[in-house]
Amino acid sequence: MTSKTRIPIHLQINGHRHELEVEPRVTLLDALRDHLGLTGTKKGCDQGQCGACTVHVDGQRVLACLTLAAQAEGRAVSTIEGLAEGDGTLHAVQAAFLEQDAFQCGYCTPGQIMSAVACISEGHAGSDDEIREYMAGNLCRCGAYPHIVAAVRQAALEVASSMETAS
Amino acid sequence: MTVHELRTRHDDSKRGDASDGAVVADQVGGRLSRVDGPAKITGAAKYAVEQQLEGLSHAVLVESTIAAGKVRSIDTAAAESAPGVVLVLTPDNALRLNTATDWLGTPPPDVPYCPLARNITFSGQHVAAVVAESFEQAVAAAALVRVAYDETPAIVDLSDAKAGDGIPIDAMTNEWGDAQAAFAAAPVRICAAYNTPREYQAPMEPHGLIAHWQGDRLTVWEPSQWLDGMARTYAEWFGVPFENVRLVSPFIGGGFGSKAFAYGYGAVAAMAAKMLERPVKLAVTRPQTFTAYGGRAATRQTVALGADAEGKIQSIVHRGVNETSVDGMWVEPLGSVTSIMYATPNFSSRQNVVRVNTVAPGALRAPGENPSAFGIESAIDELAYEVGIDPLEIRLRNYAEQDPEAKKPWSTRQLREAYAAGAEAFGWSRRSPEPRSMRDGNQLIGWGVAAGTYPVRRAYGEAMVRILADGSVEVESSSIDMGQGTYTILAQTAAEVVGVRAENVVVKLGDSRYARAGVTGGSRLAGVMTGAVHKAATAALDELVGLAISDPNSPFHALQANTLVVAEGRIKSPRGEGPEVSIAELLASVGREQIEAMGDTMPANSTAEDRYKNYTTIATALSHTEGDYSRHSWCAHFVEVRVDQDFGTVRVSRVVSALDSGRLYNPKLAESQWKGGIIMGIGQALLEEGIVDRRHGRIVNNNLADYLIATNADIPDIEVISVGIPDPHSSALGGKGVGELGIVGVAPAIANAVFHATGKRVRDLPITLEKLI
């Protein structure tokens, strides 16, 4: 392959700068999984229908399968691998997912968690019905939905209380 | 896999989080959180096709666009000259493979197997494959492959005029008494037809694999519900010894019956890897998952119930039909619940299968029991209204005190308890009996009940347990965890037996190099594997205690004890006298690196051939009615629906289910599985339907936006109640099946609730709004 078919891009992922050369048609999802070895972000449909590939770009939840890697140039990308603190301390959403058993096979889980973090920061975790609605873009075939709602509810309270403490 | 130790902000109280206060979380029956959970919530869990291999190439399938006919020609020129393409596979250059033994162990015909078709029997059949340096290049080149066909008329589905009545399956005929005569003579008779459409497993992780040959040894990273069965298939296809094939599947992103076999695309990838002498990854696309293997066959049933004026059943006449493929045979046992749920002196069930142009259907959560329950549990509800008694009362009046078919006592049947507990928690006594008699503004409210059951499938198993020098315990098995909790319950089992904390047990699964395991299907794995691990761990503990008592270098040698106890990883005399040392200290003192014990529940005189057959086929599975008992798990679902009276939209607003899975090895995880089954059942009842384009015999909604599965917003809170008791006839530790039970009976409970809400009986799933307005 000639170099003309590839473009250099710089991705800022979980606070680390990555430089890679990829074809322009490479999605952010495939760049993460196949080019950078960050396989925590999952490919469930590659069509923007299941939510398994949910990541944050500049703090907003996006579907990595519908985003070209080049579109993320210069923007801050957060994935499941970057959610826990450097010392391994889990994010409140991760801890709540474990405690509430909000997953079984685990394949939709990174996307669910990234969506849940955004759902809380967007202010859409005010009631169980609101959580259900704003988490409805992330499919779970194992059927962990009631436990996902419980986990988001629990994490939202913890995030709120830790923000209160911080202020 | 590795269990990642991660600090959490909150103590998740691994101890003391017990279901009944008596069981610590670490032990069997405790509510231990998933031990593989940390890997899954941090993105560290590596699923099969996520392995990073040097020199990996990417394969993409080309599928037939007709449902019947022949491939006239394949023009590969453009694809071959596309950038990055290293191979275009067609039947013309495919390696000659052998046909493999089927899962029942039937010896294969001596004919070659080609996973790429010239004769087309369904739309979406693999006809070619393109392998390229990158995934994007392979996708682009696959679109350049031109296939010309000679098309012939297809039988698109069961309702096709050309489909006919099908083939009678004699093995499905099940009769006692004189059902036809008793039905004709019964004072109350109902007879209706119940249909279920094609349904798909749709696990969130699509299928796929990485195949890598090193000489005549093949490694396959592929999500698998049956490593040894799939390894056998690959070995037979390629004519290499079984031992030369290694299957690796540490995590499985959902299976629901669809990941137990090696399919054609696996042969394509392994063939390409062999031809190219480099690893090949083939990720089945989401649309391809609808035709690369089969979902649940579409079914038709007729159920006729004859009863006396009090609703006591005199006769059941049942006829079933399911679709199968043109060249494969799938029988979905439609009479499996019909024949055991209710006591009846007269019974007749028969079944045909009809060949249509579809991929061969396969197993989807409770194959047989699921559609069977939709028929009989809808019909009994219709009978209740016909007779004028409560739908719960009619079930109790016809309660089967023993297995009506096998004429044997149940091992355990807590169904009466399930009805009572479910009804109490749901508030069933407040139900107003008349249809359309409960409402909330514009919403018609309906309350429905239905029962479910699933047989206890049993098999022999084996497991390796090691007590290591540092005092930790290692469990190895080539069984798998696709979310049921195998890692966790086996850690609990070994921890309890050896006497260590579960966090000091490392469970290794999903690699065919480990101790062998049969299929993870039919809800059998937990019972089989806890039994095998219990046996292996007991042997390891016995050796440990034996060493401690008898080894001259043991600190206990002078004690002359008959036995010692091990708890919390420490060894001491039961009376507390003498020394107390850790397992690690004891092993060091007696100079042992480790203790290793294989636990095996096969009969003692089993030959190597018996073992191979046991783990690579289902030929040696034990019948659930073998011996003196009939073994099944049971459940009762109570459902509330709200139907918009103008638009006919149905929402499930409340579910209470009481379930008897015997003893639960980990209630926290079992409850999750039950709820998952119930949720899949809600999707089945209201949403799921493979829609066939009748012009082309093609599934048109082959994606997750058009094949609707339940989303979070479709699901209310769900209450599950365990009413099981330990069942010593079903498994070593007293459990019965969990995974499939939950879905059985959900769809009829919802259909019954919809009838109660609207007065309309919907007998065709899914219950969509156009059927109600």
CATH number of the domain bearing residue B332: 3.30.365.10
CATH number of the domain bearing residue A118: 1.10.150.120
My answer on whether B214 and B305 are in the same domain is: no
Residues across chain B: 773
Structure confidence by residue, pLDDT tens digits, B219-242: 999 999 999 999 999 999 999 999
Residue A17, domain member (yes or no): yes
Structure confidence by residue, pLDDT tens digits, B279-298: 999 999 999 999 999 999 99
Residue type at B276 in one-letter notation? L
Structure confidence by residue, pLDDT tens digits, B54-91: 999 999 999 999 999 999 999 999 999 999 999 999 99
Name the CA radius of gyration of chain B, rounded: 27
The stretch B404-430 carries a mean pLDDT of 98
List all residues of chain A from 8 to 37 with a beta carbon under 8 Å from chain B: 23, 25-26, 30, 33-34, 37
In this complex, do B42 and A40 lie within 8 Å of one another by their Cβ atoms? Answer: yes
B129 Cβ neighbours under 8 A, 6+ residues apart: B59, B60, B61, B62, B88, B89, B116, B142, B268, B272, B282
Residue A52, domain member (yes or no): yes
Residue B198, domain member (yes or no): no
My answer on whether A78 and A118 are in the same domain is: no
Structure confidence by residue, pLDDT tens digits, B128-140: 999 999 999 999 9
Number of domains in chain B: 3
Q: How far apart are CA B653 and CA B667, in angstroms?
A: 24
**Residue B20: its pLDDT value, please?**
46
In this complex, do A94 and B42 lie within 8 Å of one another by their Cβ atoms? Answer: yes
Name the CA radius of gyration of chain A, rounded: 16
Final residue in a domain of this structure, among B616, B644, B665: B616
In this complex, do A89 and B677 lie within 8 Å of one another by their Cβ atoms? Answer: no
Structure confidence by residue, pLDDT tens digits, B139-171: 999 999 999 999 999 999 999 999 999 999 999
Final residue in a domain of this structure, among A82, A104, A124: A82
For residue A121, the number of C-alpha atoms closer than 13 Å in the C-beta half-sphere is: 13
* Residue A97 in contact with partner chain B when CB distance is under 8 A: yes
Q: Are B638 and B749 in contact (CB under 8 A)?
A: yes
Strands B650-660, B718-722: pairing kind: parallel
Residue type at B469 in one-letter notation? A
Final residue in a domain of this structure, among B242, B266, B290: B290
The stretch B212-220 carries a mean pLDDT of 98
My answer on whether A110 and A161 are in the same domain is: yes
Residue B577, domain member (yes or no): yes
Residue B561, domain member (yes or no): yes
CA–CA min distance B687, chain A (Å): 13
Map tokens 């691994």 to a residue: B14
My answer on whether A33 and A69 are in the same domain is: yes
Q: How far apart are CA B462 and CA B601, in angstroms?
A: 6
Structure confidence by residue, pLDDT tens digits, B702-752: 999 999 999 999 999 999 999 999 999 999 999 999 999 999 999 999 999
My answer on whether A72 and A101 are in the same domain is: no
Structure confidence by residue, pLDDT tens digits, B594-645: 999 999 999 999 999 999 999 999 988 899 999 999 999 999 999 999 999 9
My answer on whether B452 and B463 are in the same domain is: no
Q: Are B610 and B390 in contact (CB under 8 A)?
A: no
Residue B21 confidence class, pLDDT cut points 50, 70, 90: very low
Neighbours of B600 (CB within 10 A): 20
My answer on whether B246 and B136 are in the same domain is: yes
Q: Could you tell me the residue range of the domain that residue B597 belongs to?
A: 459-616
My answer on whether B591 and B713 are in the same domain is: no
Burial class (CB in 10 A: 0-12, 13-18, 19+), B164: exposed
Residue A1, domain member (yes or no): no
Extended strands (E) in B134-180: 146-151, 167-168, 174-176
Q: Are B134 and B649 in contact (CB under 8 A)?
A: no
Final residue in a domain of this structure, among A33, A57, A82: A82
Final residue in a domain of this structure, among B290, B320, B350: B290
Q: Active site includes B740?
A: yes
In this complex, do A47 and B669 lie within 8 Å of one another by their Cβ atoms? Answer: no
Residue A38, domain member (yes or no): yes
Q: How far apart, in Å, are the Cα atoms of B265 and each of B24, B71, B127? A: 45, 18, 10
Q: Could you tell me the residue range of the domain that residue A40 belongs to?
A: 7-82
Structure confidence by residue, pLDDT tens digits, B564-591: 999 999 999 988 888 999 999 999 999 9
Residue A2, domain member (yes or no): no
My answer on whether A104 and A66 are in the same domain is: no
- A84: nearest CB among B12, B42, B716: B42
A chain contacts of residue B485, beta-carbon cutoff 8 Å: 104
**Residue B561: its pLDDT value, please?**
80
- Tokens describing residue B268: 């394509």
**Residue A4: its pLDDT value, please?**
61
Structure confidence by residue, pLDDT tens digits, B436-447: 999 999 999 999
Average pLDDT taken over every residue of chain B: 95
Q: How far apart, in Å, are the Cα atoms of A146 and each of A97, B110, B675, B718? A: 11, 51, 8, 7
Extended strands (E) in B154-287: 167-168, 174-176, 188-196, 208-214, 217-221, 245-248, 280-283
Q: Is the alpha carbon torsion for A15, A19, A24, A28 positive or negative?
A: negative
In this complex, do A149 and B712 lie within 8 Å of one another by their Cβ atoms? Answer: yes
Structure confidence by residue, pLDDT tens digits, A98-142: 999 999 999 999 999 999 999 999 999 999 999 999 999 999 999
Q: How far apart, in Å, are the Cα atoms of A167 and each of A156, A164, B106, B261, B603? A: 16, 5, 70, 56, 67
Mutate to test the interface with B, among A35, A93, A107 (most CBs of B within 10 A): A107
CA A88 to chain centre: 17
pLDDT of B318 higher than 70: yes
Neighbours of B2 (CB within 10 A): 13
My answer on whether A97 and A160 are in the same domain is: yes
Q: Is the alpha carbon torsion for A145, A150, A153, A156 positive or negative?
A: negative
Residue of B332, B585, B740, B770 marked catalytic: B740
CA–CA min distance B624, chain A (Å): 26
Q: How far apart are CA B220 and CA B245, in angstroms?
A: 8
* Residue A74 in contact with partner chain B when CB distance is under 8 A: no
Phi then psi dihedrals of residue B91, to 5 deg: -60, -20
Residue A54, domain member (yes or no): yes
Q: How far apart are CA B44 and CA B685, in angstroms?
A: 36
Q: How far apart are CA B5 and CA B644, in angstroms?
A: 49
My answer on whether A58 and A99 are in the same domain is: no
- Strands across the sheet with B650-660, in order? B439-440, B443-455, B632-644, B650-660, B718-722
Structure confidence by residue, pLDDT tens digits, B168-208: 999 999 999 999 999 999 999 999 999 999 999 999 999 99
Residue A87, domain member (yes or no): no
Neighbours of B20 (CB within 10 A): 9
My answer on whether A105 and A76 are in the same domain is: no
Q: How far apart are CA B308 and CA B468, in angstroms?
A: 66
Residues across chain A: 167
My answer on whether B286 and B306 are in the same domain is: no
Report angle CA B215, B220, B225 to the nearest 5 degrees.
Answer: 150
The stretch A159-163 carries a mean pLDDT of 87
**Residue A164: its pLDDT value, please?**
82
Structure confidence by residue, pLDDT tens digits, B467-503: 999 999 999 999 999 999 999 999 999 999 999 999 9
Number of domains in chain A: 2
The closest alpha carbon to B129, from B74, B71, B81, B52, belongs to B74
Residue B48, domain member (yes or no): no
Structure confidence by residue, pLDDT tens digits, A19-69: 999 999 999 999 999 999 999 999 999 999 999 999 999 999 999 999 999
- A39: nearest CB among B50, B136, B676: B50
Pick the residue from chain A with its C-alpha nearest to B704: A49
pLDDT of B2 higher than 50: no
Residue type at A8 in one-letter notation? P
Residue B282, domain member (yes or no): yes
My answer on whether B329 and B439 are in the same domain is: yes
Q: Is the pTM of this model over 0.90?
A: yes
My answer on whether A71 and A97 are in the same domain is: no
My answer on whether B607 and B655 are in the same domain is: no
Cα dihedral A147/A148/A150/A155 (nearest 10) = 140
